[in-house]
Chains A and B, each alone.
Chain A
Amino acid sequence: MNSWIEKQRYIIDFTLSSLLRRKVKNIGLLVLYTLIVFILASMMFFTHSIKREAALILKGAPEVVVQKIVAGRHDLMPIEYLDTIKKIRGVATAAPRLWGYYYDNLVKANYTLLVPPTQTTTTNISRTTVVENEPNSQSVDLTKPLYEVNGTKLESGTIIIGNGVARLRQIAKGDYMPFLSFDGNVMNLKVVDTLSAQSELVSSDLLLITEEDFRKLFGIDKQFVTDMTVVVNNPSEMPTVAAKIKKRLPQARPIIRDEILRTYESIFNWRGGMMIVIFSAAVLAFVIFAWDKASGLSAGERREIGILKAVGWETSDVIQMKFWEGAIISLTAFFSGVILAYIHVFFMGSPVFEPALKGWSALYPNFSLTPFVNIEQLTTLFFLTVLPYTVATIVPIWRAATIDPDSAMRFTGD
């Protein structure tokens, strides 16, 4: 047993020095391999985390949101709609919401300004943008209900800001933040707290503001709100209730949570579809390069195997050597690729994918995902990369079995 371990150590040592002596080739190989693992792992981390964030976000979204649509465009909603909606059979409660986007020229980012509901709990608020309203932007239906305010009271002239905003503007509690209102005046609002949230995606760009300040900033009259949330008594009645709202208020557009989910999913899947393309490309590259590896032994390698066999190595020793060679390269590549991907996705905000995968990235200039790592996916990645490569390095070695040790006696010159 001891000598078996010692033997493996020898073989690993020899493998390492073998790898080192073809430095350029093997480092190139390692870099390529690491790159492929890096791309695959980044994608896995990214999609998985986005999915988790999405699930978190939608968990607390209101069942139905009603907007007013004028000429296909989202418009302010008269407050009278509320009574009409409340009277519809099957509606449990309805609440108006005030929210909107504010573009900050200084940092070139959009914030979401939201008036927290005063009457009830803070959990059932959400915002909705409708994709059709913004044909040029890749904005996604996002609802953001999960922020928490640590007991700070919002008073007139104050705001509570999300982490992303704080980071971007480099401001903190106690600082003032200027806003340019609809009539060209500057409003200086004091930051009284920052939001904490389970998910960065939820609160990053969020800015809580009082109703009074909100109306002053955007010039919205008392009788208008942005949209309304509706809670129905029986979830199965949701489509019926939505239809009734539509009938009573022809300009209203009820959006059911499941619909948001679908929109989100379809966009996400489209992105997912793009990822599949990248994924397949990476896997293809990998297969080609594994195949290249598998397809032959160079003359130098054959010669070396001949020498090893001549000096007393068995075919199985040579196979073990090649196994270690494959294992060392693929494990190194796997771990460095995964670690780099982790840093890339969770610490650096996926700069490589950002333009392609995160249409809403303009909203999240400093976007960072909460790390969610799925062991199952990592295992899959492991079996997709380490295993085939290791096998691919061993396979041509079966042919090495046909190299007779006496071939070493017939090598002439170099």
Chain B
Amino acid sequence: MIELHGIRKVFNAGNPSEFTAINGANLQIAENQITVLKGPSGSGKTTLLSIVGCMSRPTAGRVHLNGREITSLPERFLTDIRRKTFGFIFQQPNLIKGISVLENVMLPAYPLGEKRSQLRIKALAGLDELNIGNKSHSNVEWLSGGEAQRASIVRALINNPSIIIADEPTAHLDSKLSYRFMEIIEKFKAEGKTVIITSHDPLVYDAAIVDRVITMRDGQIEV
């Protein structure tokens, strides 16, 4: 359960370029549900998502994760929560170039110091599951858009997060791959995970598996 209370996010406070991206958002996101955030470009979806995912702190307001107040925690704890609780799928695959797909996928687990043999097995299994096992030793530059995105999904899952956050996951996919993505999402739900997606793709927010659609406008949540 994620609860947001009176979240505000102001960029460049005090500058002429000061901008309030989120202005008093209150929201509860239930566990084991698929929640979609939609809304026009610039309405603050990504910003809200990064606050939910402990990537950035709100200027004001509080975030509770499973009843625990996390906004005031020091960076180290936030990082720890982030890597253990959240898996991120970005709009861009954001893979690191020059190293293999397998290494990319294992990256989030490195700071945890897990045993290498186990980690490898886990990573390879994840890649197999998304049908890119045969690419595990390729360089990421050689991947197609869809393959790169699947690799980034495997990376998001490597630490077995309970909450998956996806920002515009289908923006760069054709409709076939987008459907494939929604199938993967469905599986997450079946595994008991919580999924939060931002999207302006009807294929996403109109999908039957989506439990809840939240619309944002000008930094506020529409009711």
Interface residues of A (CB under 8 A from B): 2-7, 9-11, 14, 17-18, 20-22, 304, 307-317, 404-406, 408-414
Contact = CB atoms under 8 A, between A and B. Distances in A.
Given A17-B98, A411-B94, A313 B110 contact: yes
Contacts of A309: 79
A314 B76 contact: yes
A14 B103 contact: yes
Contacts of B20: none
B1 interface: no
10 contacts: A10-B111, A14-B99, A312-B159, A317-B110, A405-B56, A406-B55, A409-B46, A410-B46, A411-B90, A411-B92
Contacts, number: 101
Given A6-B116, A315-B75, A14 B110 contact: yes
B56 A5 contact: no
Interface string B96-116: 111110010011111111111
A409 B21 CA distance: 15
Contacts of A307: 94-96
B98 A312 contact: no
Contacts of A9: 116
B50 A314 contact: no
Contact of A312 (B82, B92, B114): B82
Nearest to A316: B76
B108 A311 contact: yes
Interface of B: 46, 49-50, 55-56, 75-76, 79, 82-83, 88, 90-92, 94-100, 103, 106-116, 155, 159, 167
Given A314-B76, A406-B56, A2 B46 contact: no
Nearest to A317: B111
A9 B112 CA distance: 11
Contacts of B114: 3, 6
A10 B117 CA distance: 12
Given A7-B113, A307-B96, A409-B55, A17 B103 contact: yes
Given A312-B83, A314-B76, A409-B46, A304 B96 contact: yes
Closest CB pairs A-B (n = 3): A312-B83, A21-B98, A3-B113
Nearest to B156: A311
B203 to A, nearest CB: 21
Interface of A is mostly: helix
A14 B107 contact: yes
A94 B223 CA distance: 116
A414 B93 CA distance: 11
Contacts of B56: 404-406
B50 A22 contact: no
B112 A409 contact: no
B107 A2 contact: no
A409 B99 CA distance: 21
Contacts of B94: 307, 310, 408, 411
Given A6-B113, A21-B98, 8 more contacts: A307-B96, A311-B155, A312-B82, A313-B108, A313-B110, A405-B50, A408-B55, A411-B94
Contacts of A5: 113
B137 to A, nearest CB: 12
Nearest to A405: B55
Given A17-B99, A18-B99, A311-B107, A409 B90 contact: yes
A409 B88 CA distance: 9
A22 B113 contact: no
Nearest to B155: A311
Contacts of B107: 14, 308, 311, 313
Nearest to B167: A409
B151 to A, nearest CB: 12
B88 A310 contact: yes
B55 A404 contact: yes
Contacts of B110: 7, 10-11, 14, 313, 317
B46 A311 contact: no
Nearest to B103: A17
Given A18-B98, A304-B96, A314-B76, A405 B82 contact: yes
B108 A312 contact: yes
Nearest to B198: A409
A14 B111 CA distance: 11
A316 B111 CA distance: 10
A147 B117 CA distance: 64
Contacts of A304: 96
A44 to B, nearest CB: 37
Contacts of B100: 17
A314 B75 contact: yes
Contacts of B88: 310-311, 408-409
A414 B145 CA distance: 12
Which among B56, B79, B103 has the greatest number of chain A C-beta atoms within 10 A?
B79
Given A17-B103, A21-B98, A408-B90, A314 B116 contact: no
